[in-house]
């Protein structure tokens, strides 16, 4: 195309696009779009991510203040309570463990009693472990606790762990590390993977060492994570009834290299054995059969409750679209921070996830204040406990406030406050062709944004995951991407990209509204094959409904 025409066309295009964004809201179907303002968004983010909110850690007072704030905003906007007993809250039952006294490890070597000291020689990997009392327990060296048929590496089958304490190396053979990646380790390094393998092999507890080769052979100080962090911000889990609890994980302690050398019978032994296992020389497995260990660790379970917040706008239909976002964050960064140096400082969580909460509040407010009754109903949820394991959303999916089969779609907003190059990802739309189409229809109405779609299923990264993976509900996940501030003490309101966040909020509102108006029912292809939608039919178009035996006979009859 020639320049003059190009210039003319571009001028016309520019005129068209700016007219679209700035003036011509007739293309928007969602009512009262203009009431979503930068001032309001900033107001929410600055409040939620203020130092006074101390990083909104789950089970801390600020987490309740956050829930109160969301509730007040909903109420002021005219949103109705949708929580338990006609209120605003969904109580999420949580539990964690705390030590009763310091754990102790003792063993005999060459007639000498060796006492390992808690915090000096060993710590628990994640807060207080399940109580354990082992007297004269046997111990076996397992290596990395890896069974990788592809690599022909299996150091666990030959370890004979049944009824013994497993002595294990952290991570994986040094040669397997993939340089240049943010996370150079494979799934074999995941503690859960190793723990599950040892438990399946019959181990009764795990002592794990970060071998010198994994630390580059020096800097032993950094071996043991400070237990302070886990005590100040213990890992939490859902407080579920007996039958619903998964298998309890094994007592799991992190020991220092010098403590491991003691167990293996000499200084430098840990490094020597690790180097052997790094070169798959499993014959070098040390024989610890003569060793007997006393391991005593007593802890108590603490039960507590935190809150999800639930508001609704009833539509004509008893079919629901959920807008969700987590309202918790990392507190002082003792848990989940990517910023070890600044552990103990407030992790304000402006992007993660005050930006998502502000989005839910703005959309709910615009819709409620419009006075327009939507076709489908809307449920607005803010979740607790996301940072500690999607706790609020997993609890919700186990205790839905609206039956899952009445939910049309779930939109989960997490971290849209730092989009770069005007690029926003709408992850997971691929799970539903209908939802994907609506997102692709609406995206061009916001030409100032670059909207990215992915052909991958929704990632397990945030609160949409339990809705999709456990309830089979179609979801999508607007996400601004991982950035340098994520999970650091630097995620402050001052550095949020409000200019681009505003059109993202409007785009999500428009998509949600269009889904509410859509005549067709949304398909969903995912792990829950039997999921039923609001039309009473299977959501997954690829799944053939279980055939009706009468129908079969009918066919038989008709064939005759």
By the criterion CB under 5 A, which residues form the site for Zn ion?
352
In the complex with Zn ion, the residue whose CB is nearer, 352 or 510, is 352
In the complex with Zn ion, the residue whose CB is nearer, 295 or 358, is 358
Q: Are strands 376-383 and 317-326 parallel, antiparallel or unpaired?
A: parallel
CA–CA distance, 529 with 543 (Å, rounded to integer): 7
Least distance to Zn ion from the beta carbon of 56, Å? Answer: 11
In the complex with Zn ion, the residue whose CB is nearer, 223 or 355, is 355
In the complex with Zn ion, the residue whose CB is nearer, 44 or 261, is 44
Residue 142's contacts (CB-CB under 8 Å, 6 or more residues apart) are: 155, 156, 159, 161, 166, 167, 168, 198, 201, 203
Least distance to Zn ion from the beta carbon of 261, Å? Answer: 38
Q: Give backbone dihedrals phi and psi of 509, rounded to 5 degrees, phi first.
A: -60, -45
Least distance to Zn ion from the beta carbon of 487, Å? Answer: 6
Least distance to Zn ion from the beta carbon of 411, Å? Answer: 18
In the complex with Zn ion, the residue whose CB is nearer, 129 or 352, is 352
In what order do the strands lie in the sheet containing 252-255?
122-124, 252-255, 205-209, 165-169, 139-143
Least distance to Zn ion from the beta carbon of 486, Å? Answer: 7
Q: How far is CA 434 from the centre of its chain?
A: 26
In the complex with Zn ion, the residue whose CB is nearer, 383 or 513, is 383
Hey, what are 151's tokens?
């690599």
Least distance to Zn ion from the beta carbon of 353, Å? Answer: 6
Q: Give backbone dihedrals phi and psi of 479, rounded to 5 degrees, phi first.
A: -145, 130
- Which bin fits 312, alpha (ψ -120 to 50), beta or left (φ > 0)? beta
In the complex with Zn ion, the residue whose CB is nearer, 177 or 338, is 338
**Residue 532: DSSP 8-state:** B
C-alpha dihedral, 371 to 373 to 377 to 380, nearest 10°: -10
Least distance to Zn ion from the beta carbon of 400, Å? Answer: 24
In the complex with Zn ion, the residue whose CB is nearer, 214 or 393, is 393
In the complex with Zn ion, the residue whose CB is nearer, 334 or 408, is 334
In the complex with Zn ion, the residue whose CB is nearer, 352 or 463, is 352
Report how far apart, in Å, the C-alpha atoms of 379 and of each of 321, 404, 406, 520 are: 6, 12, 11, 20
Q: Determine contact, residues 436/429, Cβ cutoff 8 Å.
A: yes
Q: Give backbone dihedrals phi and psi of 377, rounded to 5 degrees, phi first.
A: -85, 160
The CB-nearest residue to Zn ion is 352
**What is the number of alpha carbons within 13 Å of residue 543 lying toward its C-beta?**
17
CA angle 109, 115, 119 (to 5 degrees): 140
Q: 269-278 and 257-264 helices cross at what angle (nearest 10)?
A: 90
**Residue carrying structure tokens 């603490």:** 302
Least distance to Zn ion from the beta carbon of 68, Å? Answer: 21
Least distance to Zn ion from the beta carbon of 482, Å? Answer: 10
**What is the number of alpha carbons within 13 Å of residue 92 lying toward its C-beta?**
31
Q: What single string gives the DSSP state of each residue in 221-253? A: GGGSPPHHHHHHS---EE---GGG--PPPPPEE
Least distance to Zn ion from the beta carbon of 385, Å? Answer: 11
């Amino acid at each position: 195309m020639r320049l003059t025409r190009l210039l003319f066309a571009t001028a016309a295009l520019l005129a068209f696009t700016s007219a679209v964004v700035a003036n011509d809201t007739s293309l928007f179907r969602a009512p009262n779009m203009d009431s979503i303002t930068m001032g309001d968004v900033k107001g929410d983010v600055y409040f939620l991510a203020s130092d006074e909110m101390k990083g909104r850690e789950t089970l801390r007072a600020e987490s309740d203040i956050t829930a109160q704030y969301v509730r007040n905003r909903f109420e002021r906007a005219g949103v109705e309570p949708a929580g338990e007993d006609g209120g605003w809250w969904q109580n999420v039952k949580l539990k964690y463990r705390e030590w009763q006294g310091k754990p102790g490890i003792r063993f005999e070597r060459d007639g000498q009693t060796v006492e390992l000291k808690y915090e000096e020689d060993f710590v628990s990997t994640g807060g207080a472990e399940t109580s354990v009392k082992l007297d004269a327990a046997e111990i076996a060296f397992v290596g990395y606790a890896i069974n990788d048929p592809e690599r022909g590496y299996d150091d666990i089958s030959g370890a004979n762990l049944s009824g013994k304490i497993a002595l294990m190396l952290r991570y994986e053979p040094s040669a397997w590390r993939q340089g240049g990646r943010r996370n150079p380790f494979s799934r074999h390094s995941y503690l859960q993977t190793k723990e599950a393998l040892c438990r399946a092999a019959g181990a009764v507890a795990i002592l794990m060492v970060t071998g010198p080769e994994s630390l580059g052979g020096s800097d032993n100080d950094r071996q043991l994570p400070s237990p302070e962090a886990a005590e100040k911000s213990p890992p939490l889990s859902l407080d579920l009834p007996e039958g619903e609890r998964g298998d309890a994980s094994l007592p799991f302690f992190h020991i220092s290299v010098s403590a491991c050398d003691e167990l293996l019978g000499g200084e430098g032994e840990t490094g020597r054995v690790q180097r052997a296992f790094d070169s798959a020389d499993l014959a070098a497995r040390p024989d610890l059969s003569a060793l007997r260990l006393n391991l005593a660790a007593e802890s108590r379970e603490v039960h507590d409750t935190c809150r999800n917040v639930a508001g609704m706008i009833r539509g004509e239909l008893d079919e629901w679209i959920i807008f969700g976002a987590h309202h918790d964050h990392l507190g002082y960064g003792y848990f989940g921070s990517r910023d070890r140096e600044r552990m103990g400082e407030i992790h304000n969580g402006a992007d993660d996830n005050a930006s998502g909460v502000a989005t839910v509040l703005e959309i709910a407010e615009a819709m409620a204040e419009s006075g327009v009754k939507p076709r489908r109903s809307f449920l607005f949820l803010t979740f607790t406990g996301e940072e500690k394991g999607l706790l609020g959303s997993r609890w919700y999916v186990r205790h839905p406030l609206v039956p899952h089969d009445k939910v049309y779609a779930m939109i989960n907003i997490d971290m849209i406050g730092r989009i770069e190059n005007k690029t926003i990802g709408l992850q997971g739309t691929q799970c539903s062709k209908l939802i994907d189409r609506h997102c692709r229809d609406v995206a061009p109405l916001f030409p100032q944004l670059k909207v990215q779609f992915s052909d991958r299923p929704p990632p397990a990264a945030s609160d949409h995951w339990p809705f999709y993976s456990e309830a089979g509900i179609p979801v999508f996940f607007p996400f601004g991407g991982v950035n340098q501030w994520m999970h650091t003490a630097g995620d402050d309101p001052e550095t949020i990209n409000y200019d681009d966040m505003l059109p993202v909020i409007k785009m999500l509102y428009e998509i949600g509204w269009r889904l509410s108006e859509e005549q067709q029912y949304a398909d969903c292809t995912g792990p829950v094959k039997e999921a039923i939608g609001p039309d009473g039919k299977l959501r997954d178009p690829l799944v053939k409904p279980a055939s009706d035996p009468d129908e079969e006979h009918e066919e038989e009859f008709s064939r005759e």
